[in-house]
Amino acid sequence: MLKGEADCYALARRAAVVAFILMLVFLFLATMSLQVQAQTYKVIYNFTGKGSDGATPYGGPVLDQKGNLYGTTYTGGTEGAGSVYRLSPNGSSWTYTSLYSFKGGPDGVGPAFGSLAIASNDTLFGTTEGGGDFGTDFEILVNSGREVQIHQFGKEGDGAQPIGGVVLDDGGNLYGTTSEGGLYGNGTVFEQIRYGNKWAEHTIYNFTGGDDGGNPPATVTRGPDGTLYGTTSMGGANGVGVVYEVSHASSAWKQTVLYTFQGKSDGQNPVGGVVIDRDGNLYGTTFDGGDNGGGTVYELSPSPAGWKFTTIYGFRGGYGGPYNKLTLVNGTLYGCTEAEGKHGFGSVFKLARTNGHWVLTHLHGFTGGPGGGAPYGSVAVDSHGNIFGTTNEGGSLNQGVVFEITP
């Protein structure tokens, strides 16, 4: 090879090497950009507790098909007894509307931990911890903001303090739980059948506080065949809660305990209820216990030999694990811890199957202050993977916030 040709070859090779290095740098920077932008946390509303604005949003928001968020606050509103609100997307911001302020009387006081249920006709359903006699459930007509009381609890042994909200069936009937009251004082499961503009309320199970469990904070989850699934925070053979089902046979309802918590690696005090996938598997959480002390996430799978229990994750900490229901989207579980996380003010996480194993990703750790803290409610996830939730504390006036995590 001649010298000139060698020099040209060397220059070409050097240029190729430089181009390759530049490509690697570009790919590295692109990867770093994806890691940085993998999730963005922002507060989209700060509650103030002033005027008709709410405060202390224990319950998480729900999404309608138009992308509007609906939720409740435990306090605030014009009478300080709580409120129902809507957040509507408006470009890059959100427009807040107070739909209803509870008056603190027969209409209810303090909508607590349960998320609202949305009917197809833009009607919202929920429960209040107090008001009436010992709590109520209600419907809100979104277009008019009118509240219709469905039932006042605390009469004739029908239960008290329905703090978990309600679920709807295809016929527009409601199902839920009361955390107290009933024949034995340990809570109930109820059914409310709609007849035109009127409702008929039936207690379909009374918890005894023994092996069957007691004090169910969360509402039930309804399976495809109408079976109701739930958890009790206390009771059971070990006194730390159970997972149960209530199934309908002929004209009667039957309660069956699916799993009794032991207070060991399986966790204890499952206050949040369960969700169900298309294969009939149940997923839930415990607020406390587990190998790491901060609560657990578990799976219950049906089989011919019975239900199989598996602990799929254990949180670290002495107290303050997940308090509410998980959210299940395309096989991925999303949820919050109330007082776990890097800064001790709670966290948002997701659990996804990878190569047959569940892998947890921490999406956000709350710091308290303006960014919010202590998320008690469930999260809502839209079709783009954006996650919405609430914190009970923090924000600009320490009255709680609504947040969004964008992937």
pLDDT, position 9 = 38
Q: What is the pLDDT of residue 318?
A: 74
SS (H, E, C) 102-134: CCCCCCCECCCCCCCEECCCCEEEEEECECECC
20 confidence band (pLDDT: 50, 70, 90) = very low
Continuous segment of H or E residues that includes residue 15: helix 3-37
Give the tens place of pLDDT for each residue, 275-287.
Answer: 999 999 999 999 9
pLDDT at 290 over 80: yes
Question: For residues 301 and 92, which has the higher predicted lDDT (pLDDT)?
Answer: 301
pLDDT digits (tens, 9 = 90+) for 79-131: 999 999 999 999 989 999 999 999 999 999 999 999 999 998 899 999 999 99
174 bridge partner residues: 168, 192
pLDDT per position as a tens digit, 355-375: 989 999 999 999 999 999 999
Q: pLDDT band at residue 38, thresholds of 50, 70 and 90?
A: low
Q: What are residue 327's DSSP bridge partners?
A: 334
pTM reported for the whole predicted model: 0.89
Buried b vs exposed e over 279-303: b needs ≥16 C-beta within 10 Å? eebbbbbbbbbbebbbbbbbbbeee
Domain ranges for the chain: 326-407
